[in-house]
Chain A
């Protein structure tokens, strides 16, 4: 079987994020890294392959983004993916979730994967929805926020993080699964694997190569546009309670929380 893993290059977490007011898009000029959640998706793919219960013949990493986004693919192949596909086209810039999901699905369709894995969210957009959009286009069942995958015959038995606990769901293949960071401890790529990564095939596709219809992608065709951006409001100064008499301190804290209806 074939597993495709979606990966993305995102701004380095430590870099202060800025939105360019004239384009309405995140500034991506600074230092970037591979989206940490995607590393968990690659690790999940590797564990399925190494687990041996499924015969995984190939792991293919796929990304969409500008030239520099190929770095995320390099990381993916150094972690064990066999080859990678880079969908890159000016026409795709500024696509919303809908357009991005559609475009990625077009690339994936040409690969006919048995399983698509991706991180549940990206460090930059944090929309949590690409998996579902891709699944819809591919007409595959989809699970999000998965934190455990077991092979069960030809299907997968997954635990999905829910607000109150876990959902255990069986999902037939092919399927699209987005994973949370609790699913595994990703390995580090070895230096030899990093050095060997450039020997693995990397295919760059334009929108036309992937059969993407031009009027469904890019900023102009996005159905959602951000109208305005604002810095998060500055935190109000906290209140410091000196702990002179602990039971009194506790009372003060409880009263403070109670006043704000924060206690059930």
Chain B
């Protein structure tokens, strides 16, 4: 067993860390405050090849593996969650289904634009009545001579409504007991993106409700075989969990970084607060849990890269890291005292950004269901 990262992974970490610290950190607070989508940063991410990390070069991707992807997501989240989720939702939710299930024509049409970051991809699964119970899809698509006519609504969809959003893959009911995935390009008549939600966090990322009113797409926009939609989205979510779990580790680490630096500077009772045992215990616990969680995330990525079953490990990683991110963000605020409650300090933003990690991409309770099922319970 070798715990050292291969050299290219170390260099990827180094590069994304430098990028995050130099390009993202200086604007993160403003992006969050003004709820502005980070167009300039996404453009740079595209130029660096970070918008298509795990896809083969023939489709414009970087040809790297899931571990490289997890590391990049971790390093971005260490500095800012909104930027990270934009990349993450684009990669593992938006681009992934087309890469996994698309025909050669669909891949040739969409992947180069997506992997270069020229357009953003989104994945529309959640509906008002289909969240954890994602199979309870109400959106309908019926096939006639014009193609698929789609009617319905999606809820909480990331990346669908920006100026550079290009495509959403949606689940729709194509028969009574039949769910299929369809590709819907932005600009298709009848496809509307609603106003962005007012969120607790992830303020600079784009999240909106979508509606489809007699929205017609060509028959060939069906993704993979008709009726395969349920299996397809379960697989996409499995992969997506590795990304979101990497976000959890990154956020927790970012919170620890901030807390440690602050604790060494802030003085009380005549010494730096980092010299108090109570603060040291918090820092030590955070560091220990983060290291353990990181190994779990990397293991999930490794299993996937080796072509082995990673469903259980990805769910464990997602469950562990979401909770950890929430806890570390809270401890980091605690260590900052009153300053942690003030927006000038990044831990304040981290505290708000952390909570979604126990909800999105499958709630903690859903992860527990997945894990228990794998245990045979």
Interface residues of A (CB under 8 A from B): 33-34, 70-71, 74-75, 78, 188-195, 197-198
Contact of A191 among B7, B10, B12, B18 (CB under 8 A): B12
From B29-37, B49-57, B358-366, the one touching the partner chain is B49-57
Q: A71-B7, A71-B11, A74-B11 are in contact. Are A191 and B19 (CB under 8 A)?
A: no
Contacts of B63 in A (CB 8 A): 192, 195
Q: A70-B7, A71-B7, A188-B19 are in contact. Are A194 and B12 (CB under 8 A)?
A: yes
Contacts of A194 in B (CB 8 A): 8, 11-12, 15, 62
The reply to whether B18 and A188 form a contact with Cβ atoms under 8 Å apart is yes
Contacts of A195 in B (CB 8 A): 8, 62-64
B275: interface (CB < 8 Å):
no
Q: How many residue-residue contacts, CB under 8 A, span A and B?
A: 50
Q: A33-B14, A75-B14, A195-B64 are in contact. Are A188 and B48 (CB under 8 A)?
A: yes
The reply to whether B14 and A191 form a contact with Cβ atoms under 8 Å apart is no
Q: A71-B10, A78-B11 are in contact. Are A191 and B57 (CB under 8 A)?
A: no
B109: interface (CB < 8 Å):
no
What DSSP secondary structure best describes chain A's contact surface? Answer: helix
The reply to whether A192 and B11 form a contact with Cβ atoms under 8 Å apart is no
Q: Which residue of A lies closest to B72 (CB)?
A: A191
Report the 3 A-B pairs with minimum CB-CB distance, sorted nearest first. Answer: A191-B49, A191-B62, A190-B49
Q: A188-B18, A191-B62, A192-B57 are in contact. Are A75 and B11 (CB under 8 A)?
A: yes
Can you name 11 extra interface pairs (CB under 8 A) apart from A188-B15, A195-B64?
A70-B7, A71-B7, A71-B10, A188-B18, A190-B47, A190-B49, A192-B49, A192-B57, A194-B11, A194-B62, A197-B8
The reply to whether B47 and A191 form a contact with Cβ atoms under 8 Å apart is no
- A74 CA to B12 CA in the complex, in Å? 11
The reply to whether A192 and B19 form a contact with Cβ atoms under 8 Å apart is no
Q: List 30 interface pairs A-B (beta carbons < 8 Å), by A numbering.
A: A34-B14, A71-B7, A71-B10, A71-B11, A74-B8, A74-B11, A75-B11, A188-B15, A188-B18, A188-B19, A189-B11, A189-B15, A190-B47, A190-B48, A190-B49, A190-B62, A191-B12, A191-B50, A191-B53, A191-B62, A191-B68, A192-B57, A192-B62, A192-B63, A194-B12, A194-B62, A195-B62, A195-B63, A195-B64, A198-B7
The reply to whether A198 and B19 form a contact with Cβ atoms under 8 Å apart is no
- B276 shortest CB reach to chain A, Å: 18
Q: Which residue of B lies closest to A14 (CB)?
A: B257
- A174 CA to B79 CA in the complex, in Å? 44
- A56 CA to B193 CA in the complex, in Å? 52
The reply to whether A74 and B49 form a contact with Cβ atoms under 8 Å apart is no
* Residue of B10, B12, B47, B63 contacting most chain A CB atoms (<10 Å): B10
Q: Which residue of A lies closest to B50 (CB)?
A: A191
- B301 shortest CB reach to chain A, Å: 16
- A258 shortest CB reach to chain B, Å: 29
- A182 CA to B49 CA in the complex, in Å? 27
Contacts of A78 in B (CB 8 A): 11
* Residue of B11, B48, B53 contacting most chain A CB atoms (<10 Å): B11
- A155 shortest CB reach to chain B, Å: 34
Q: Which residue of A lies closest to B19 (CB)?
A: A188
Contacts of B12 in A (CB 8 A): 191, 194
Contacts of A198 in B (CB 8 A): 7-8
- A192 CA to B68 CA in the complex, in Å? 12
- A52 CA to B57 CA in the complex, in Å? 29
- A108 shortest CB reach to chain B, Å: 24
Q: Which residue of A lies closest to B12 (CB)?
A: A194
Contacts of B53 in A (CB 8 A): 191
Q: Which residue of B lies closest to A189 (CB)?
A: B15
- B81 shortest CB reach to chain A, Å: 21
Contacts of A75 in B (CB 8 A): 11, 14
Interface residues of B in 38-93 (CB under 8 A from A): 47-50, 53, 57, 62-64, 68
